[in-house]
Amino acid sequence: MDPVATIRRIGFRKWYERQLIESHASLVTLLLCGLTFAILLDEVVVATRAGGIPVTALAIVAAAGVIGTFAWRHYITVLERAERYGERSTCATCTTYGRFVVTESGIDSIPGPTAEAVAPLQVAWMRVRCKQCGATWRMPE
């Protein structure tokens, strides 16, 4: 879902927490796929030496490799996006963390380092206003 719409609906702090949970769930998936990959690859090697070719085990090894690759990419991109927004979530004037209202948003037409860092995910900029002091700033930079 679009980060701006979600931040408007549930607030930055909850959005940030959910992004971290989602990214770390992908990391757990990656670790489980890696474990499955290693165990079954060992079984394939043992079975091959015994003269058989375990097709099912090979298919599961391949699936674990593919799923693990996608889980790794998802982990990195979601975590990077959350960190990009998180870096600018503190008001520079009153140092209040994550308490702001989104006043304006858009998508940069010229991709910058933020868009390149989270390439498969859509990244949007937001103009925000602090609920504490009323200062405005843009995030992410």
Tens of pLDDT along 59-77?
Answer: 999 999 999 999 999 999 8
What is the extent of the structural domain holding 36? 3-139
Instruction: Please tell me the pTM assigned to this model.
Output: 0.81
- In this prediction, residues 1-29 reach a mean pLDDT of 93
- The two three-digit tokens of residue 4, written as one number: 């701006």
pLDDT higher for 120 or 134?
A: 134
pLDDT in tens, 87-114: 999 999 999 999 999 999 887 766 666 6
Report how many domains make up the chain.
Answer: 1
Between the two ends of the chain, the Cα-to-Cα distance in Å is 21
